[in-house]
Structure 1
Amino acid sequence: MDILASLFNGILVALEPINLGLAIVGVIVGLFVGAMPGLGSVNGVAILLPFTFVIQGFTGGATSPMIFLAAIYYGAMYGGAISSITLGIPGASTAVATTFDGRPLALAGKAHVALVAAALASFAGGTVSNVMFTAFAPLLATVALSFGDPEVFALMLLAFATFVGLGGDDIPKTIFSICIGLVLATVGFDVVSGEPRLIFFDITGFSHGIRFLVLAIGVYGIGEMLWTINTSRYGSSMSNVDVSARAIIDAIKDFRHAWRGTVIGSLLGFFVGILPAAGATPGSLMAYGVAKLTSRNPGEYGKGSIDGVAAPEAANNSASTGAMLPMMTLGIPGSPTTAVLLAGMVIWGLQPGPLLFTNQPDFVWPLIGSFYISNVVAVLINLAFIPVFLWMLRMPFTILAPLIFVLSLVGTFAAYQDMFDVWLMVIVGIAAFFLRLLDYPVAPAVLAIVLGPIAEPKLRQSLLFSDGDFMIFLNRPIAGPITVIALILIFLPLFKLIRDKMRQTA
């Protein structure tokens, strides 16, 4: 009852005119920041962090500035799906998995279905994570602390195991695509030894590695544009997108068919989000893989499955709240964006950690209350703006293609201010186009380059701790069961493939 009373009081503070206004403005800003390729929540929060000092000077406390930044974070999680669905360009790394099925739905003239599913799944994921955050914050913080290097690597291995199903029925090509992603993830300086690795032709631009957004925008911006031009799939279905209120209402009713992906994304996203340094991107990718793995119709994924949109969108919003938990209860950022928020809290004189809930209840509970308010504001604004987003699809492709190209260039340069990355993004896009011509799936490669930099140091640090004994991944109470499940998921499709080949030979 104390928790409910504290939450109720926190929501009342969050509903004060100044805080509610900041939440609305923050959500709108975050929505468009998230939709712009190359920006995302990290850059949006970092850019607007200095502005919060003006807010603090006006309100006289840290609560209102933090509500504003948290609202930007929420809005950006919603906004990342917009460009992924309408243009095929991920607004941020957290929205890459949304592109897999959101873009095919848009190409089939069902962009309104994808946008509604993304908005409602985001709302569901945010609501579930808010409730879990409120009820179980101290307990979940303890669970997060129990995840050491072997447990995190086992979780990443489980994520890789789900990738096998993301490339269709051609398992060898899928594994090859994963290997390409893992190789690209090792380019740059070794995080453990500091030695340079795979710096092709001694080009200094490779020293910082191949950045994920460069790969994502190249594959799903330039690559998708070239693929659309080559196959002429755009057609009249894109120009005849239905923007009527009736179509949106029907799409809201159809969302009930996406309950499976929404549940998976909401729960899995929050669990991955609370792990220190994991964040929303791995959560959304894992949710997509698990949703496909457990689906009764896995063949629909990648062709326009509404569950394929709901799962990653529910996960990235759920994970964004989950990432707040280790930041507030342990003082450990759960994602790059929460690292910026943590810096802001320290600047404002707050001390994140186990005593924050006890010593600063007047800050904590209004902030948690603002999570609920921002979630409601975000879904209402997102649904209201859907006709505007759909209007973009009515533009002729002769205008849309150059727009996609320019946004890809500007988004990549805005993210890193490096022309080498811009050229690399174009080359990656062309390479992705030819891989698709050869019927190689590109999604597993993109996913591998996300989790590779997380999995590799955890693997090596675990082996250093165990003197090279791989049994460390099997004899620990949490890592062991996860590793066994991951190995089963990896080898089971391979056994089925070998069995089918033997039957064909016989």
Structure 2
Amino acid sequence: MEELSNLLNGFAVAMTVPNLGYMLIGITLGVLIGVLPGLGGANGIAILLPLTFSMNPTSAIIMLSCIYWGALFGGAITSILFNIPGEPWSVATTFDGYPMAQKGQAAQALTAAFTSSFVGALFAVLLITFLAPLLAKFALKFGPAEFFAVQLLTFCSFVGMSKEPPAKVIAAMMLGFALAAVGMDTVTGQLRMTYGQPELLKGFDFLIAVIGLFGIGEILLTMEEGLAFKGKTARINLKVVFETWATLPRYWLTFLRSTAIGCWMGITPGGATPASFMSYGMARRMSKDPQGFGKGNLEGVIAPETAAHAAGTSALLPMLTLGIPGSPTAAVLLGGLMIWGLQPGPMLFVEHKDFVWGLIASMYTGNIVGLLVVLTTVPFWAGFLRIPFSVIAPVIVVICAIGAYTVHSSMFDVIMMMVFGVLGYLFKKLKYPLAPLVLALVLGDMAEASFRQAMLLSQGSLSIFWANPLVGSIAGLAVALLLWPLLGSARGYFKPKEAVA
């Protein structure tokens, strides 16, 4: 089978000594990022991305993706031991993980969380291994109209499926489109919204924006909240690990259901956070003991962790095959690929086969390494949390500033990083989502180029977007998702109201 042959070649790339070293470094940094509230997978990758510019793209993407796997693992540690979600998707883990720690079962809860994360990621990587080549071959038939329809579907999916109010999602996305339009028009050569500033001729650099929005914005918000770490200690030994593993097979249905939810929410732009909450809710609804949830039920740890890892991993499938990120972290990785001169999409599987399959192989080995690292180093990370956040935060800000400066060796970029940091802080305070803004900033130019090419081919006629069944079905689905919130509101409006006594 061609996929297995390519995967074996990918392991030959991923298993070289330098790449294994980068994998271990990435996992360790990722666990640290996941443990520290105020950071996260997308934030950590955005901050550390400039440090990979001197590396070859394969080693760089392996290290950055392993940072993401490590962050997914690390978020469970603070949730279970300290009742502080290290990551947004770890909130659901606190519901039963922390009560288990209070009952002296922290080691069991952590073992179940790490193992569930590994299982969810493994199923998602298998999905990528066998589905990505088929999807890439199918996407080779796409023209400008089809690519714009897929990009429109992605934008509309964020509106229709986001838990945030549609108006806020659209507002964030419009701001992202406006930022993406700054600079020189690649078609006409005219300047747009530069206001005489030579620094803006190339537009807003994606990397500067995400370092500010995610890194600085999160730090400002976390410093305002004034976190104090008080929690339980845990030490995992082999006896506890094997005893916990012996009990996990009885939850096989929860694993399957949570993996399915996670993979679906990763491929569609749902993300790990809604996947974890949805999986937790389904587990509680389907459980024989729903009253035990929230009081230290092991199933309440398994469900969200499995779904979060499956969603986080499967989000790379549309990013690699179509150039459409399924999560904020995938959007940051997409920007990194474009900086290295690699265009995500179906041609990536043809022109850079070693790169793609090396990355997929590293997903297998990276998650195995991640599971071993977190199982053996929990006491260290728990002790690290006792360092005052007032000491850690300035260090992170300095790292962000260095990362922003190294992009173009310009102080203007550092200033813009701070501006985007304040914008990210305001977005979080006002509860506006950042993911649509980042998505529009990354895909805005690509969507505009695809649309204008389609218009040139059709001589200005919009009928090209329903000229054949493929583009028509994609565009139709996009419109349906865009209107989905309105349909939900209409159903609620026309629903018969109960009489008030």
Q: Give the one of 203, 208, 214 matched to 2:208.
A: 214
Going from structure 1 to structure 2, the CA distance change for 1:422 and 1:486 (only over 3 Å counts) comes to same
Give, in angstroms, the shift of residue 100 of structure 1. 4.9
Give, in angstroms, the shift of residue 390 of structure 1. 5.7
One-letter amino acid of the counterpart of residue 383, structure 1: L
Give, in angstroms, the shift of residue 482 of structure 1. 0.9
The answer to whether the aligner puts 1:477 opposite 2:472 as a matched pair is: no
Q: Any idea what the Cα deviations from partners look like across 1:234-273, whole Å, max 9, x if unmatched? A: 3335x6575646699979959936313443267x3xxxxx
Going from structure 1 to structure 2, the CA distance change for 1:404 and 1:120 (only over 3 Å counts) comes to farther
One-letter amino acid of the counterpart of residue 198, structure 1: M
Q: Give the one of 178, 181, 184 matched to 1:183.
A: 178
Give, in angstroms, the shift of residue 155 of structure 1. 1.0
How many Å separate the matches in 2 of 1:355 and 1:454? 20
Residue aligned with 2:469, SS? coil
The answer to whether the aligner puts 1:418 opposite 2:410 as a matched pair is: yes
Residue aligned with 1:126, SS? helix
Give, in angstroms, the shift of residue 458 of structure 1. 0.9
State the match for 1:224 in structure 2.
218
Residue aligned with 2:229, SS? helix
Going from structure 1 to structure 2, the CA distance change for 1:160 and 1:144 (only over 3 Å counts) comes to same
One-letter amino acid of the counterpart of residue 384, structure 1: L
How many Å separate the matches in 1 of 2:362 and 2:196? 48
Gaps of 5+ in 1: 50-68, 88-97, 269-282, 325-333, 344-351, 358-363
Q: Is the contact between residue 145 and residue 464 of structure 2 (CA under 8 Å) also seen in structure 1? A: yes
Matches within 5 A, 1:43-82: 44=52, 47-49=54-56, 70=58, 72-80=60-68, 82=70
State the match for 1:235 in structure 2.
228
Q: Is the contact between residue 33 and residue 39 of structure 1 (CA under 8 Å) also seen in structure 2? A: no
How many Å separate the matches in 2 of 1:9 and 1:229? 46
One-letter amino acid of the counterpart of residue 128, structure 1: L
TM-score, normalization by structure 2: 0.66
Give, in angstroms, the shift of residue 33 of structure 1. 8.2
How many Å separate the matches in 2 of 1:356 and 1:443? 28
How many Å separate the matches in 2 of 1:31 and 1:122? 14
Residue aligned with 2:189, SS? coil
How many Å separate the matches in 1 of 2:475 and 2:394? 46
Give, in angstroms, the shift of residue 145 of structure 1. 1.5
How many pairs are equivalent?
Answer: 420
How many Å separate the matches in 2 of 1:194 and 1:378? 44
Give, in angstroms, the shift of residue 115 of structure 1. 7.2
Residue aligned with 1:451, SS? helix
Q: Give the one of 8, 27, 30 matched to 2:23.
A: 27
The answer to whether the aligner puts 1:313 opposite 2:303 as a matched pair is: no
Q: Any idea what the Cα deviations from partners look like across 1:54-92, whole Å, max 9, x if unmatched? A: xxxxxxxxxxxxxxx6465334212135468869xxxxx
The answer to whether the aligner puts 1:400 opposite 2:392 as a matched pair is: yes
How many Å separate the matches in 2 of 1:213 and 1:425? 9
State the match for 1:14 in structure 2.
12
State the match for 1:147 in structure 2.
142
Q: Any idea what the Cα deviations from partners look like across 1:161-189, whole Å, max 9, x if unmatched? A: 12125653532222222212221121122
Going from structure 1 to structure 2, the CA distance change for 1:175 and 1:499 (only over 3 Å counts) comes to farther
Tell me whether 150-159 or 433-442 shows the greater mean CA deviation: 433-442
Q: Any idea what the Cα deviations from partners look like across 1:310-341, whole Å, max 9, x if unmatched? A: 355213554677589xxxxxxxxx98649959
Give, in angstroms, the shift of residue 369 of structure 1. 8.2
How many Å separate the matches in 2 of 1:174 and 1:109? 32
Residue aligned with 1:217, SS? helix
State the match for 2:157 in structure 1.
162
Tell me whether 405-414 or 434-443 shows the greater mean CA deviation: 434-443
Give, in angstroms, the shift of residue 379 of structure 1. 1.5
Q: Is the contact between residue 264 and residue 290 of structure 1 (CA under 8 Å) also seen in structure 2? A: no
Going from structure 1 to structure 2, the CA distance change for 1:108 and 1:434 (only over 3 Å counts) comes to farther
Q: Is the contact between residue 163 and residue 289 of structure 1 (CA under 8 Å) also seen in structure 2? A: no
Give, in angstroms, the shift of residue 121 of structure 1. 4.3
State the match for 2:124 in structure 1.
125
Going from structure 1 to structure 2, the CA distance change for 1:499 and 1:144 (only over 3 Å counts) comes to closer
How many Å separate the matches in 2 of 1:215 and 1:186? 14
Q: Is the contact between residue 265 and residue 318 of structure 1 (CA under 8 Å) also seen in structure 2? A: no
Q: Percent identity, please.
A: 23
Q: Give the one of 366, 376, 396 matched to 1:378.
A: 366
Residue aligned with 2:187, SS? coil
How many Å separate the matches in 1 of 2:480 and 2:407? 39
Q: Is the contact between residue 258 and residue 279 of structure 2 (CA under 8 Å) also seen in structure 1? A: no
Going from structure 1 to structure 2, the CA distance change for 1:241 and 1:117 (only over 3 Å counts) comes to farther
Tell me whether 152-161 or 394-403 shows the greater mean CA deviation: 394-403
How many Å separate the matches in 2 of 1:108 and 1:209? 46
Gaps of 5+ in 2: 34-43, 76-85, 99-108, 285-302, 324-333
Going from structure 1 to structure 2, the CA distance change for 1:447 and 1:375 (only over 3 Å counts) comes to closer
Give, in angstroms, the shift of residue 2 of structure 1. 8.4
Give, in angstroms, the shift of residue 488 of structure 1. 0.7
Give, in angstroms, the shift of residue 452 of structure 1. 1.7
How many Å separate the matches in 2 of 1:204 and 1:296? 51
How many Å separate the matches in 2 of 1:433 and 1:369? 38
How many Å separate the matches in 1 of 2:162 and 2:356? 39
Give, in angstroms, the shift of residue 99 of structure 1. 5.9
Give, in angstroms, the shift of residue 217 of structure 1. 2.1
Give, in angstroms, the shift of residue 481 of structure 1. 0.5
Q: CA RMSD in A?
A: 4.9
Give, in angstroms, the shift of residue 154 of structure 1. 1.0
One-letter amino acid of the counterpart of residue 124, structure 1: F
